[in-house]
Structure 1
Amino acid sequence: MLKDFVSNAALLIASFSIMGQLFKDKPLHLSSHLSVKFYWGISFGILGNILMLYSIHINSTTIADLRHLAIVIAGAFGGGIPAMVASILIGIGRILFFGYNHTSILASAGVILTGIVCGGISKLKFHATLKAFLMNLMGLFIISIILSINIDDWGVLTNILAYHYIISLIGGFFSYYLLEYIAKSNAAQQHLKEANKLLNQLSYIDGLTGIANRRYFDQTLENEWIKLAYTNYPLTLIMFDIDYFKKYNDTYGHLEGDHCLQTIANKIKNEIFTHPSYTFCRYGGEEFAVILPFVNANEGLQIAKKIQKAIQSLKIPHISSKISDIVTLSIGVATISPKSSSNQEELIQMADQSLYLSKTNGRNRISSVNL
């Protein structure tokens, strides 16, 4: 009999480990969402039914196992809802698996009563460990009453209850702390995952302007090139920089220069590049780039004109500029239909050459090229 109870406890603890992994993204606690409590309650109910399939058969209608611990742990971690869901499922299973008779009805009633009691104890302002212990004791007390009604042999009854109490208290202790450890471990892993995700996102963001950086530009352009390489759709790249920005820094100072970059980046990001498939990046220094998949040469040119007008509308003073008294841009636009036989470097060179052409032709202008 001891061996059977130990096997039941081992199955219980192993099942908790599996459940902890299955629901690692849906931890169970008193403030969990209602749906999460139902998921866990159903799982504990299934576990209780599995434990009954490996129960100790005392006589033709009476069995003993650790099914109450599934309800106890459900109540200890999630409160009344998962405890009641589990107890109802276990109560139904007791009748379905072992027949409809006086013993099974009494056992089912005891199981459901255990769920109600555990739900009530979960509301007490006690330490969580103490509440789990009280739930376990009350579950054992209810089991004692049920077994005393169903077993006539006093010697058999005391023998079963002795083993039941010992294994239940020890098994309940280990089960509680195992699930608590799993919950803390899963929470730590989730926090680490979120931290890594945040760090990864930050590694793609330019610290000054808050837009995508060169690293993100390189990765995105490569991805867009690969995606369009086997289609006939165009890919447009716009590159632009601020005219005479070095003179701007020399005149107004680097802090004002930084503010100028931030103002330009915010203006373009918030008013022009709101489309999710467009990527606006700081390419380096005062140079910016825009990746425009599925945009043809004419559309790219129109977008470049919008950028130019948007920055001119800011009217940022630039008394050291040789072409205007406000900040202006030189813009290069390049459009190509990506091919698998070439790579994105070709498009970058085209856009860079267009930008160079705008500079050599007097700045504050747009040049474009397409293949």
Structure 2
Amino acid sequence: MFKDFVSNTAMLVSSFYVMGQLFKNRPLLATSPLSTKLYWGISYGILGNILMIFSIKISTTTIADLRHLVIVLAAAFGGFIPAMVASALIVIGRFLHFGYSDAALFASIGMLFIGIISSGIARLNYNLTIKAFFMNLIGLFILTIVFTINIEDPIVLKKLLIMHYIFSLTGGFIAYHFSVFIAHSNENQRKLKNSLIELKETQHKLEKSNERLNQLSYVDGLTGVGNRRYFDTKLEKAWLHAQSNQVPISLLMFDIDFFKKYNDTYGHLTGDYCLQTIAQAIKNLVTEDSGYTLCRYGGEEFSLIMPAANQENAEQFAAQIKKTVKELNIPHINSEIAETVTLSIGSASFIPGPAAKPEDLIRLADEALYTSKTKGRNTISVL
């Protein structure tokens, strides 16, 4: 009998570990969803049936095991529903495994009473450990009545009750605290998992924010095209590519003719809108596959980096820009050369040698722009 109770206790405790792993993301609490309580109730009921299969046979109709602890723990953690589901399955299993008898009937009634009373105790506002202990005691008291009715031999009854009380109290203590440990362990794992997920989400958002900030640091706030910093970065990259592969690179520098007079005439807000309109119109000319980069160089001056573009390509694109701005028909009554806004454009192209620097290309394009201004503006000059 001693070995059988030890085996029952070991089976009980090890089964709680398996159940804890199966439902580690669905903890059994009084506030758990109905589906969770049903899952746990069915699992407890199956465990109770397993304990019955390996029970201690007192007589042909009477058995002893620790299945009442299954009902006690179901009630302690989940309340009425899992306790009664487990009780019902244990009662059904009692008749299926061992057939009908008066002993089976009394035992089944006892299991149902344990489930009902334990569920009532679970609703009391006391410490969970204390409630589980009293559930176990009441369960033992009910089983004592059942065994007293079913067992006629007083010696066997006395020996059974002593062993049952010892293993129910110690086994119940171990099983309860082991269940609490598993529940806390699973909760900590869930918290850790959620923390890792939140950390990854935060990291992803931070990366996105940094990427966005990085992009904003390269964008001109008014026109939405690249700023001077972006110009320097892209020109350096395009220059190194042209230098190492010995291919041409071109640079267009252009600004709005008599823009100061435009601001004085129409106001700075209208001047800002003029810059935005022209920048967007030119930006629309630049296709992604061209590799060209439009930037605001400063004030009313813009630049266009043209990797792998020779002088002819640069002149053609400059003419296209000039034509596009003219077609915008932005009024400029105080312009000295036209009634609408116009551009002066400087173009520079060459294949950089080993000693050449990006500043050389900028200087040539700037000189070409200056030439356009001295020639009367609204024109294209090439160096």
- TM-score by length of structure 1 reads 0.62
Partners of 1:91 and 1:131 in 2: how far apart? 24
Map of 1:242 onto structure 2: 224
Residue 69 of structure 2 aligns with an amino acid whose one-letter code is L
Q: Residues 73 and 132 of structure 1 are in contact (CA less than 8 Å); yes or no, is this contact kept in structure 2? A: yes
How do 1:126-145 residues align onto structure 2 when only pairs under 5 Å count? 126-145=126-145
Task: After superposition, give the CA deviation of every residue in 1:177-215 in whole Å (9 maximum; x if it has no partner).
Answer: 11111111111111111111122122222468598899x
Map of 2:13 onto structure 1: 13
Are 1:77 and 2:59 an aligned pair? no
Partners of 2:171 and 2:270 in 1: how far apart? 77
Q: How many residues in Structure 1 have an aligned counterpart in Structure 2?
A: 255
Secondary structure (helix, strand or coil) at the match of 1:323 reads helix
Partners of 1:79 and 1:34 in 2: how far apart? 11
Q: Residues 62 and 103 of structure 1 are in contact (CA less than 8 Å); yes or no, is this contact kept in structure 2? A: yes
Map of 1:99 onto structure 2: 99
Pair 1:94–1:196, CA change in 2 (3 A)? same
Partners of 1:120 and 1:168 in 2: how far apart? 20
Partners of 2:27 and 2:183 in 1: how far apart? 7
Map of 1:236 onto structure 2: none
Structure 2's unaligned 5+ residue stretches are 215-222, 230-268, 296-302, 306-316, 326-383
Secondary structure (helix, strand or coil) at the match of 2:29 reads coil
Structure 1's unaligned 5+ residue stretches are 215-240, 248-316, 335-349, 366-371
Are 1:31 and 2:13 an aligned pair? no
Q: Residues 121 and 131 of structure 1 are in contact (CA less than 8 Å); yes or no, is this contact kept in structure 2? A: yes
Q: Tell me the CA shift for residue 7 of structure 1.
A: 0.6
Are 1:324 and 2:276 an aligned pair? yes
Secondary structure (helix, strand or coil) at the match of 1:152 reads coil
Map of 2:122 onto structure 1: 122
Q: Tell me the CA shift for residue 114 of structure 1.
A: 0.7
Map of 2:329 onto structure 1: none
Pair 1:213–1:246, CA change in 2 (3 A)? closer
Q: Tell me the CA shift for residue 103 of structure 1.
A: 1.1
Task: After superposition, give the CA deviation of every residue in 1:17-63 in whole Å (9 maximum; x if it has no partner).
Answer: 00000000000111111110010000000000000000000000000
Partners of 1:326 and 1:192 in 2: how far apart? 54
Q: Tell me the CA shift for residue 333 of structure 1.
A: 5.9
Partners of 1:116 and 1:123 in 2: how far apart? 11
Q: Residues 318 and 326 of structure 1 are in contact (CA less than 8 Å); yes or no, is this contact kept in structure 2? A: no
Map of 2:182 onto structure 1: 182
Partners of 2:178 and 2:209 in 1: how far apart? 47
Pair 1:243–1:45, CA change in 2 (3 A)? same
Secondary structure (helix, strand or coil) at the match of 2:32 reads coil
Q: Residues 11 and 51 of structure 1 are in contact (CA less than 8 Å); yes or no, is this contact kept in structure 2? A: yes
Partners of 2:183 and 2:270 in 1: how far apart? 59
Map of 2:373 onto structure 1: none
Q: Residues 37 and 82 of structure 1 are in contact (CA less than 8 Å); yes or no, is this contact kept in structure 2? A: yes
Are 1:41 and 2:41 an aligned pair? yes
Q: Tell me the CA shift for residue 322 of structure 1.
A: 8.3
Q: Tell me the CA shift for residue 354 of structure 1.
A: 5.2
Secondary structure (helix, strand or coil) at the match of 1:204 reads helix
Task: After superposition, give the CA deviation of every residue in 1:153-189 in whole Å (9 maximum; x if it has no partner).
Answer: 1111011010101111111111111111111111111
Q: Tell me the CA shift for residue 105 of structure 1.
A: 1.2
Partners of 2:56 and 2:136 in 1: how far apart? 19
Q: Tell me the CA shift for residue 324 of structure 1.
A: 2.5
Map of 2:366 onto structure 1: none
Percent identity over paired residues: 46
Pair 1:208–1:128, CA change in 2 (3 A)? same
Map of 1:88 onto structure 2: 88
Pair 1:356–1:243, CA change in 2 (3 A)? closer
Q: Tell me the CA shift for residue 113 of structure 1.
A: 1.0
Q: Residues 147 and 157 of structure 2 are in contact (CA less than 8 Å); yes or no, is this contact kept in structure 1? A: yes
Partners of 2:270 and 2:67 in 1: how far apart? 79
Map of 2:167 onto structure 1: 167
Map of 1:230 onto structure 2: none
Are 1:65 and 2:17 an aligned pair? no
Task: After superposition, give the CA deviation of every residue in 1:60-107 in whole Å (9 maximum; x if it has no partner).
Answer: 000000000100110111111100100000011001100011111111
Q: Residues 225 and 294 of structure 2 are in contact (CA less than 8 Å); yes or no, is this contact kept in structure 1? A: no
Q: Tell me the CA shift for residue 242 of structure 1.
A: 2.7
Pair 1:206–1:88, CA change in 2 (3 A)? same
- TM-score by length of structure 2 reads 0.60
Map of 1:195 onto structure 2: 195
Pair 1:200–1:319, CA change in 2 (3 A)? farther
Task: After superposition, give the CA deviation of every residue in 1:270-299 in whole Å (9 maximum; x if it has no partner).
Answer: xxxxxxxxxxxxxxxxxxxxxxxxxxxxxx
Partners of 2:183 and 2:162 in 1: how far apart? 31
Map of 2:344 onto structure 1: none
Partners of 1:98 and 1:212 in 2: how far apart? 72
Q: Residues 226 and 294 of structure 2 are in contact (CA less than 8 Å); yes or no, is this contact kept in structure 1? A: no
Partners of 1:211 and 1:39 in 2: how far apart? 46
Partners of 2:188 and 2:212 in 1: how far apart? 29
